[in-house]
Amino acid sequence: MRKVKKVLIICFILFLATTFIVKEANAASTSGIKITTEAGLDGKVMDGKGFMLKVTIENKEKDFKGDLLIPYSPSYDIGGQTLVPVDIPANSKKTYTVTIPGISSDSNYTSNKMKLYRDSWQKGEEVSFTGVKELRLTLISDQTLGILTDQYDKFKNLRKLSSSSIFTTELLKEDIPDQALGLETLSYLMVDQFSLTELSEEQQLAIKKWIEKGGILITGATTNGKQAYGNLESLMPLAFGNEEEIPLSGIDTKTKEQEKITAFRSSLTDSSDAITIHNEHPLVAKKNLGEGKIIQTSFSLSDSTLLNWQDFNSWMENLLQTENTRITANYQYSGNPLSNLYYQFVESNEYFKSSTITTGLLLIILAGYLLVIVPILYFILRKYDKREHAWWIIPCLSILLSLGMFITGAKDKIKNPQLNEMGIYQYSNNYLSGYQATTLLSNKSGDFALTFDQDTYTPFPYLGYGELQVKAIKNEKVKSSEIIFPEVEYWSSRTMYGKTSMPMEGGFSHDFAVTEKDISGTITNLYPFDFSKVFIWSGNEKIELGSIKSGETKNVQVTHSNKYFSRPSGNGYGYYIYDYNGHDLKEFRELVAESMVLSTDYYFNNISTGDSMLVAITNEDIVNVGIASEKETKNSTNLIMEPIILTNHFPGAFTINEGNMEQKLTVIEGAIYSENYQNNDISLEDGEYLYTLQIPKSYDIKSLSFDSLTVQPNGNPGVTYNIYNKETDSYEKITSLFKVDEDKVSAYLDENKIINMKVVKATNGDPYIQLPSVKIKGEIKE
C-alpha cells in the first residue's frame, strides 16, 4: 500500500514539473517577439478620426506567422479590431503600415490591448510579446495643417500660427498612407515644391478620396502641372497663362504692402470659384470636390517675398479658417456625431419584419384545441371503439400544432440571414455623400463577414454598452473589405454604420413655374435609382410629387399652402414621435429617415442653406453590402436630399428669421465644437468668431424693400456681439435689443445681402452659447 502511495506521489510531482517546464518553454518561445508602434503625426492623432499606424515587430526566435489584432474605438459605443496578418522570419524585424479607423477620448482605449495569435485568430493560440501592449498616442482636438514639401524650413513661420487651434507639422512622402482613412487626422494638406508624381498611385488616390470626404488641399502655381499635381491635375481650379508682377496688396486688400511677387495671369476652370481677384483675374480660387475642396493660388506659396511678408501668417490662417468644412473634434463638450447618430437614426434600422402570431390568435388556437379538437377526437374514437389510441394521437396533434406555430413565427428567420439597410444622403457637386447603417439578423450561430467597398463606405461596428465582449474584426482585402462579427448567436443582430461618399453623375433636373398656390412643370430623375416617394419640403409642408423611376420625366401640377418657400422646419424629434410599436415597418423607416432632414446642420456642414429641400426615398441599394459565402435577404430604405431654389417673387409682406437664412460661423480665433442652427445652439472655445447670415437665394434681391432689422441677444454672460456697418466700415456693439428701420437696414447688409457679426466669447470654459435671434421684415414688390 505504501509503495502504491509513493508511486502516486512521484507521478503527481512529475506531472507538476512537466506542466511547469511546458509553460516555461511556451513563455520562452514567445518572449522573443517585441512590438513597438508609431501613431499619427509624431504620436499626435485627431480625436475620433482615422490615422496611420506603423507597427514594428522584432522576432529573435524561430519563424513566426500569425495574426495581430489592433483595437480601435472612434467613440465609446463603436469600435472593433483591425486584423494585420504578420510573417516575420527568425532573427529579423518588419514594419507594417496600418490604417486605424480612430481612437476617441470618450472611449476606454487604454484598457484595450493588442493581441497576437500564432497561425490565425480564429484557430490559433494567443501568444505573449514584449514592448507595447496598447497604442501610445496623444489625442488632439486642434485642426491640423500638414505641409508636404522638399523645403519645409521655408515655412518655419507657419509652425506658430496666432490661433492655438491649428497644429502644423511636416509631412514626408512615406507619411502619406494608401487609404483616405489614414489622412483623417489632417484638416488641411499644403503641397509646395513637391511633385505628387513621386507618390504611388494608391497614395494619390488616397489624397483624392480624402478631399472628397471633407479634406482641404492647398497648393500654388507651377509651369509643369502634370508633374506637380499628378492625377489631381484635371481637378485644379486655375488655368495659367503668362507671368506678371502683382503687389501684396492685391492678395490682401487690408495690407498696404506694395512689394511685388510673380504670379500667373489665370482663369477659372469648370465649376471653380474665385476667392481673391486682382485686375479681373483670379489670384486664389477653389473647386469643390465632394465634401471637401481644392484651393489653388496663381503664385508660388514659397515665394521669398510672400514668406517674408509680415501678414503672411494671418492671411494664410484666415484662408484656412474661412474655407474649413470640418468641425473641430472635442467630445468633452460636444457629443460624438457618430454616437448621436445611433440614437437618432441607426437604432431604427434594427427592427426586422417577421411573421408573428398575435396574443388573440394564440388564445383562439388554444381554445379550439381544448374545446373543439379534444372533444371531437373523443367522440370519433368512441364511435369506432378506438379510445386507446388517444395516448399517441393527442401528443402528436400537440407537436404538429406547436411546429406549425413555430414555423409561422420563424419562417423569415430560418431560410437566409437578413440585412437591413438605412441611409441618408445629400447630393452636391456631382457627389453623393452621407451615412449608412447596416444590421445583420443571423439565421444560425457562427461567424458572419459583411463585405463592402472601403472607398465608398467606412462602417464602424456598434458595441452598445459593452455587452458585446467579442469585438468585430476589420479585414482589409484587395477588392473589398469586410467586418467579421465572431460568434453570433442564433437569431441575433449585429450593427455597423458610418460615412459614405461616391462620385455620381445624376441628381434631379426640373423646370418649375411657381405661383403663390401652385407648382407646375416637369421633373426628371437622373439618378440610377427608382424612387417610391418624392416631395418638396418647404417650411413645415411636404409637397408630394409621387414616385419617379430612373430616367423618367414626370409632369408636375401640385398646390402648396405656405405663400413663401423656406428651409424645412419641424420639431426635430421625429424618431421619438414615430415609435414603431409593431406598426407598418416600411412607413416607420421612412418617417425616421425624413426626420433626419432636420439634422442636416449637424451632419452635413455644406448643406445648411435657407432653401427648400427636394427629398426622395428609394428601396434600392446605394452602398452595396453583402454577406461572404451567404445569400442574404435585404430590406433597404435610403433617402436622398438636395436643395432646390423656388423663387419667392410673389408681391406682399415677408418676414425672414435666422432659421430661414443661410448661416455660417467662421473661426477668427478659437475652435468650434458643434453647430446646431435648427435649435440655435452652438458649442465654442473661448475666442472670436465671424457669424454671417445670408438672405436665401429664393428671394430676388432686386424686388425686396426692407422695413426693419432686429437683433436680439439671448443673454449669454461673457458673450458680446458686434454688427458690421458698411457705411462706417466698422463694427457696432450690440448690448441689448438692436433694431433699425427702413433705409438704415441696407447699411448692415453687404452687396451679397449678408449680415456680418463678430462673436467674442469669454465664458471661462463654458462652451455652450445661443446665437442671437435675427429678424428681417420687408416687402416684395412687383
Q: How confident is the model at residue 13 (pLDDT cuts 50, 70, 90)?
A: low
Q: How confident is the model at residue 37 (pLDDT cuts 50, 70, 90)?
A: very high
Per-range mean pLDDT, top range of 157-166, 253-262, 543-552: 543-552
d(CA 255, CA 647): 40
Q: What is the pLDDT of residue 331?
A: 58
Q: How confident is the model at residue 190 (pLDDT cuts 50, 70, 90)?
A: very high
d(CA 37, CA 97): 10
CA distances from 104 to 55, 140, 203, 548 (A): 20, 10, 25, 42
d(CA 501, CA 455): 8
Q: How confident is the model at residue 47 (pLDDT cuts 50, 70, 90)?
A: confident
pLDDT greater than 60 at residue 428: yes
H/E segment holding residue 14: helix 2-30
pLDDT greater than 50 at residue 577: no
Please state the rounded mean pLDDT for residues 421-447: 91
Name beta bridge partners: 310.
Answer: none
Please state the rounded mean pLDDT for residues 443-470: 82
- CA 605 centroid distance within chain: 10
Please state the rounded mean pLDDT for residues 392-400: 74
Give the percent of the chain with pLDDT over 70. Answer: 85
In CATH, what is the architecture of 652-780? Sandwich (2.60)
Q: What is the pLDDT of residue 363?
A: 73
Residue matched to cell numbers 435577404: 633
Q: What is the four-CA torsion angle of 256, 260, 262, 266, rounded to 10 degrees?
A: 40
Please state the rounded mean pLDDT for residues 389-416: 68
d(CA 636, CA 596): 16
CATH class of 31-140: mainly beta
d(CA 126, CA 129): 10
- CA 529 centroid distance within chain: 22
Tell me the per-residue pLDDT of 198-208, one tens digit each, with 9 for 90 and over: 999 999 999 99
d(CA 308, CA 302): 10
SS3 at position 573: coil
d(CA 689, CA 679): 19
Q: What is the pLDDT of residue 27?
A: 41
Please state the rounded mean pLDDT for residues 706-729: 90
Find, among 341, 333, 309, the residue nearest to 77 by Cα: 341
Tell me the per-residue pLDDT of 72-111, one tens digit each, with 9 for 90 and over: 988 888 999 999 999 999 999 999 999 999 988 877 665 6
Tell me the per-residue pLDDT of 235-279, one tens digit each, with 9 for 90 and over: 999 999 898 998 888 888 777 778 889 999 999 999 899 999 888
Other C-beta atoms lying within 10 Å of the C-beta of residue 29: 15
The alpha helices in 289-415, defined as continuous H runs, are 304-308, 312-323, 337-344, 359-368, 374-383, 390-414
Q: What is the pLDDT of residue 320?
A: 85
pLDDT greater than 80 at residue 467: no
- Which has the higher per-residue pLDDT, 54 or 222? 54
Give the percent of the chain with pLDDT over 90. Answer: 40
Please state the rounded mean pLDDT for residues 160-188: 85
pTM of the model: 0.85
Q: What is the pLDDT of residue 21?
A: 44
SS3 at position 724: strand
Residue matched to cell numbers 416617394: 533
Q: What is the pLDDT of residue 99?
A: 92
d(CA 218, CA 296): 6
Q: What is the pLDDT of residue 124?
A: 79
Q: How confident is the model at residue 22 (pLDDT cuts 50, 70, 90)?
A: very low
Concatenating the DSSP letter of every residue in 165-218 gives TEEEEEE-GGGS-SSGGGGTT-SEEEE-S--GGGS-HHHHHHHHHHHHTT-EEE
d(CA 443, CA 440): 10
Domain boundaries, the chain: 1-30, 31-140, 143-323, 508-644, 652-780
Q: What is the pLDDT of residue 767?
A: 84
Tell me the per-residue pLDDT of 601-635, one tens digit each, with 9 for 90 and over: 667 765 556 789 999 999 999 999 999 888 888 99
- Which has the higher per-residue pLDDT, 9 or 630? 630
pLDDT greater than 50 at residue 644: yes
pLDDT greater than 50 at residue 356: yes
Q: Which CATH superfamily is domain 143-323 in?
A: Class I glutamine amidotransferase (GATase) domain (3.40.50.880)
